[in-house]
Structure 1
């Protein structure tokens, strides 16, 4: 069995500007990143990974493009006809193979890959006995658990969703949101230092909540940043037309499907 490991860091609530169907979800003008950028934001690690490069067509002064980003960078759109966070989460991690749709977490467990889930929410996995699940109240505890899993779990998938940013977003607290994102950026730097050669780090957001938009989920582009420790420099991944690109990439990375991999899929672009 392969000893490859993927770490998915879900910075839930971080959006990159209104999605093409924003009008259908009362999200015209939504831009989580743009609206917190002037609130003391300092995210040097995310900038070096290419966060500013994603906004090449609408650059933010405090989040500039870099000439040689360390990560592969792009953005995704949600296609599910719902503005619930649980719906976009399932779009991100459900995978359709043949006549069956299942969570990639369940598929991994079926193939006897290690799977760890660190989050604050309830779970919908079928194979809960085969999946390590840790419920966390805040970002600090989430990173403690992530650090522990990175030390002890040698292969498989580690998914970590950070809970605090959405709290600031729902409180309409743009300043608090920016400060917490600064804290997360520092910790992301420590995660990068601990990665092994067989690791792939994926940083994304399963949904957006613009803190200037009255305590509700907003329909925005969502970040897709991938870091491969074996690559000196990343490049653009463009726009993925479904959050299912994440599930498809997991399936491809761990060779879970003998058939043709469903698109969109970005694994070949980052390996």
Structure 2
């Protein structure tokens, strides 16, 4: 595929079950998605995310209201945090940083400096993102404001990287508000349904999360596998991406799309060739 734009939506705070090293982070039994689904009403459903394959990630252990679908339109899998520094911003750095022959840098600035395409970040003020000097930062303080900006940016014919970090889900999780988490996911799913109609055929949409926060567990953040969904409007046929070892695979995939070449010391491995 000849992608011209990568859109990353970060469901910050959403985990999908304890990671293989959960015992090292007091997170055995953590399952953000599974646990908050218990707060939903009997008609709970996330149609857009289900079509994309969210339920298929856990086909062997389905979440209430999210059964696997027969023909998902997105590629789907689990991805994990490799960093042993288990804090909320670790995943963000891991996702975008990569190693050159001489230093550590990041995909966000590199694609602007090397290729002249855009990096647009829709987020609140986080130090890591604010320090990307070549990116256009659009500050927002709620998901509603963020999605309004996202829809405007998506319909514009720009090339490059577009990143949006959800805010409300992590806040509701910190408040231990499981019902509030469900309300957030319902609203997000409606926006995703609209977003998929707005995408260009040369777009690649990636949905993930940079950390997990199970509101039923007294640990912040919780060490969990994180969702990974990749959707191509030009090819709405999905399959499993398996279990990815590091969030850096997302940055490596973005780098390959735009012709940025990390050194062999970089930890990420692109899955671009698997999207075929």
Common fold: TM-score over 0.5: yes
- 1:1-271 correspondence runs (5 A): 4-40=4-40, 41-111=44-114, 112-124=116-128, 128-214=132-218, 216-257=220-261, 263-271=268-276
- More off after superposition, 94-103 vs 137-146: 94-103
Q: CA deviation at 1:211?
A: 0.9
Q: Is the Cα–Cα contact under 8 Å of residues 101 and 263 in structure 2 kept in the other structure?
A: no
Q: Secondary structure in 1 aligned to 2:38? A: coil
Structure 1: runs of 5 or more not aligned: none
Q: Secondary structure in 2 aligned to 1:248? A: helix
In structure 1, how many angstroms separate the alpha carbons of the residues matched to 2:263 and 2:219?
42
Q: Is the Cα–Cα contact under 8 Å of residues 106 and 125 in structure 1 kept in the other structure?
A: no
Q: CA deviation at 1:101?
A: 1.4
Q: Is the Cα–Cα contact under 8 Å of residues 241 and 264 in structure 1 kept in the other structure?
A: no
In structure 2, how many angstroms separate the alpha carbons of the residues matched to 1:127 and 1:88?
16
Q: Is the Cα–Cα contact under 8 Å of residues 16 and 31 in structure 2 kept in the other structure?
A: yes
Structure 1 segments, 4+ long, off by >3 Å, are: 125-129, 258-263
Deviations 1:25-52 (A, max 9, x none): 1101000010012222421110110001
In structure 2, how many angstroms separate the alpha carbons of the residues matched to 1:212 and 1:88?
21
- TM-score, normalised by the number of residues in structure 2: 0.92
Task: State the superposition RMSD in angstroms.
Answer: 1.9
Say how many residue pairs are matched: 270
Q: Secondary structure in 2 aligned to 1:74? A: strand
Q: Is the Cα–Cα contact under 8 Å of residues 14 and 213 in structure 2 kept in the other structure?
A: yes
Q: Secondary structure in 2 aligned to 1:85? A: coil
Cα distance, 1:207–1:50 mapped onto 2, change above 3 Å: same
- TM-score, normalised by the number of residues in structure 1: 0.94
In structure 2, how many angstroms separate the alpha carbons of the residues matched to 1:207 and 1:127?
20
- More off after superposition, 90-99 vs 156-165: 90-99
In structure 1, how many angstroms separate the alpha carbons of the residues matched to 2:85 and 2:132?
26
